[in-house]
Structure 1
Amino acid sequence: MSAAQPLLSAAVRHLSRSAYGVAVTPARGFQVFRIDGYSWAKTLAAGERITSGHFIVGGRYWLIDYYPNGTDSARDTDSGSISLYLRLAGGAGYEKERVRAQYKFSLLDPSGFAAYEIPPETSIFTYPGRQYGHHGDEVTGDIGVGLANFVTKEELERRSETLLKDDCLAIRCDVGVTELGVLAVAPKESHKTMQQDDGDDSDWEGGNRESNRRRRQPPLDDREYIRRSLAKNRRASII
């Protein structure tokens, strides 16, 4: 049996090479969700929710769900607490997604300061995906991740001067995730430098032999190509 040919060290006419980089960075953001008419919201049935508009953190869409009477729609009586949940509503595409994120809910006073909050939580959020061309959220039984008993209504209404001024409930939700970005790390090489010099200089149109030689620079060797790909200053070039 003959030995395998040394393909990795064989001389080739055209060498194909590439460099690709990914930056993993933290991303954080928040949304303020204001509900005017807290006392009217309490008339909703248990399990009914009021949903915020989308907000973007880490290249993904998120939603806040406020349940004035809890999440359990099977209850005949209202819950004694309000429930707050965070939902992942997808990314740039339609694909299913699973994301680990840290989140924190707080209630704001009229000056915008957190007057009631609990420590941050870390959980896995899932997005089931949606059909191409369907612009609404995919209908699922998933209620997201959150707190079924965020604060009792008794406590909330006892502190109405700070938490329910003018019958307004202001919810802040902070979200922190990791974000992936593509880095432009490959050194720039013109088409001319990647081709072997197979023709005569006189084949070039509109120029003389000397000027054409100056335009055609020798290609980078592999070591220099790799060195430039790993250069630190290329980390800032996020696409």
Structure 2
Amino acid sequence: MASSSSSSSTWMMEKASGSHLFKIADYSLAKEIGVGNSIRSAPFTVGGYYWIVECFPCGDEKDSADCIGLFLTLESDVDKNNVQVFYTMNLVNLLDQTGPPSEPLTNADVFSKDNCSWGWDRFMRRADLEKSRYLKDDCFTIYCAVTVPKAPRLQVGNAGAVAAPPSDLPQHLARLLESGEGTDVTFEVGGETFAAHRCVLAARSPVFRAELFGSMKERRARCIKLDDMEAAVFKALLHFIYSDKLPSYMEKLHKESSTMMAQHLLVAADRYGLDRLKLICEDKLCREMEIDTVANTLNLAEQHQCRRLKAICLNFVAAPRVLAAVIETGGFEHLGISCPSVMKELLKKITNMTDELRSSKKRKIDKGGKRS
């Protein structure tokens, strides 16, 4: 009796993709900042790297002063490694969804420590933008899509094979926490009580493991009181420990409340050795950076050894127009008292930026309008 078999294989490139919308309000003021001066977006992450969109409303150099320049800049430290990136930029009109976006421009470039910024010095003539539908109510929006290729891989499969569903362990653990079944330790936090499972806490956190199964007094306690944490923060911390993600309600919070929660959770994550949660909070704080909260975030970044978050905060604050506003916040005064070394770093960064402007050092631009 004849037998037959079939098989298949697929070559694919692992890749990470993401996008960022950068809205520039008050265009009439932005175009007065002068040639060679840029407006920078908030940092965003794609492929494990931090990126920003830079817009030069008056051009990157004098010979492109009649044009708007757009560039993608790598903010992460890459040492000797190079990062190949495919990226696209175009303008969109968020107020008028009936029309198409502008014609996208696409590049593929290699970003490195010495060549960290690429793009177009003549993305669009300023006169054309001012007559276009993309400038509405003195605002326009840039859409940037980024793809970072990873290592290629070969996927081998047999026809008719059944793929296993994704893991649902976090959902089961989250339901276990919600049900309260089998709990054997209680925490009193901010006047509220939270029941949990010692084994789960110990498996997820080295600090909880030492407290609950080591020689500390909490090993024998049925109820542990925490006086230095808010109830809402501990509730979110427990949710992450069981489900490996932030509570969904955090996405619905007002931006200021969301930032404050991320700041408190970062402190809690560092305290309990939850490195993944700490990184998630860092990323959230990078994306939600605002003038009113950046000084407090910079303070936390210094105290809890968040090197990348600290660097991005310093870049944000050092911008001349931003610095003047940040100085007026209460958080800036507290920063000066609690972290004088950070103030020295900030002063040095501002001095370097001023010297760079005075000497009119510009990034090199190649024949295609790209710069290194």
Shorter-chain TM-score: which interval?
Answer: 0.5 to 0.7
Indicate conservation of the 8 Å contact 1:30/1:174, yes or no: yes
Matched, 1:60 2:33: no
- Is 1:99–2:83 an aligned residue pair? yes
Return the offset for 1:31. Answer: 0.3
Letter in 1 for 2:117: G
* Alpha-carbon distance in 2 for matches of 1:59, 1:25: 13
Matched-pair contact (CA < 8 Å) for 1:45–1:78: no
The residue aligned with 2:131 is 158
Choose the corresponding residue for 1:149, options 100, 122, 137: 122
- 1:168 Cα shift? 0.6
Any residues of structure 2 matched to 1:130-141 within 5 Å, and which? none
Q: 1:146 to 1:78 in 2, by over 3 A?
A: closer
Aligned residues: 146
The amino acid of 1:43's aligned partner reads E
Identify which of 125, 128, 144 aligns with 1:173: 144
Tell me, yes or no, if the aligned pair for 1:104 and 1:175 is still in contact at 8 Å: yes
Q: Is the 8 A contact 2:67 2:122 kept in 1?
A: yes
Aligned pair in 2 of structure 1 residues 47, 90: CA closer, same or farther (>3 Å)? same
SS at match of 2:101: strand
Determine the structure 1 residue equivalent to 2:69.
83
Structure 2 contact 86–148 (Cα < 8 Å) conserved: yes
Query: 1:78-102 CA distances to partner (integer Å, 9 max, x unpaired)?
Result: 71110000011116xx634311111
CA distance in 2, matches of 1:114, 1:35: 19
**8 Å contact kept, 1:106–1:114:** no
Matched, 1:41 2:30: yes
Asked if 1 retains the 8 angstrom alpha-carbon contact of 2:69 and 2:122, the reply is yes
Cα deviation 1:183-211 (Å, max 9, x = unaligned): xxxxxxxxxxxxxxxxxxxxxxxxxxxxx
Q: Is the 2:74–2:116 Cα contact (8 Å) retained in structure 1?
A: no
Q: Deviations over 1:141-185 (max 9, x none)?
A: x561000100111111111xx21111011001000111359xxxx
Cα offset, 1:111, TM superposition: 3.9
**CA offsets 1:30-80 (integer angstroms, 9 cap, x no match):** 0000111011101011000001111111111111100001111xx3x8711
- Of Structure 1 and Structure 2, the greater strand share is in 1
Which stretches in structure 1 are left out of the alignment for 5+ residues?
1-22, 129-139, 182-232
Superposition deviation, residue 118 in structure 1: 2.7
Return 5+ residue gaps in structure 2 as ranges: 1-11, 153-162, 168-372
Which structure is richer in relative contact order (CA contacts within 8 A, separation 6 or more)? Answer: 1
**Larger gyration radius, structure 1 or structure 2:** 1
Query: Do the aligned residues in 1 keep the contact of 2:16 with 2:147 (CA within 8 Å)?
Result: yes
Q: Using a 3 Å threshold, how does the CA distance of structure 1 residues 143 and 83 change in structure 2: closer, same or farther? A: farther
Secondary structure in 1 matching 2:127: helix
CA RMSD of aligned residues (A): 3.1
What's 2:101 paired with?
115
- Is 1:82–1:150's contact at 8 Å kept on the other side of the alignment? yes
CA distance in 1, matches of 2:28, 2:76: 32
Q: Is the 8 A contact 1:102 1:177 kept in 2?
A: yes
**Alignment counterpart, residue 111 of structure 2, candidates 104, 109, 125:** 125
User: Which has a greater percent of helix?
Assistant: 2
2:64 touches 2:122 (CA, 8 Å); kept in 1?
Answer: no
Q: Does the residue aligned with 2:33 lie in a helix, a strand or coil?
A: coil
**Percent of residue pairs identical:** 30
C-alpha deviation, 1:114, in angstroms: 4.9
Instruction: Tell me which residue corresponds to 2:350.
Output: none
C-alpha distance in structure 2 between counterparts of 1:97 and 1:32, whole Å: 27
Name the CA shift for 1:180/1:78 in 2 (closer, same or farther; >3 Å).
Answer: closer
Q: Tell me whether 1:31 sits opposite 2:2 in the alignment.
A: no
Tell me, what secondary structure is at the counterpart of 1:106? Answer: strand
SS state of the match for residue 26, structure 1? strand
Distance of aligned partners of 1:121 and 1:155 in 2 relative to their CA distance in 1, 3 Å threshold: same
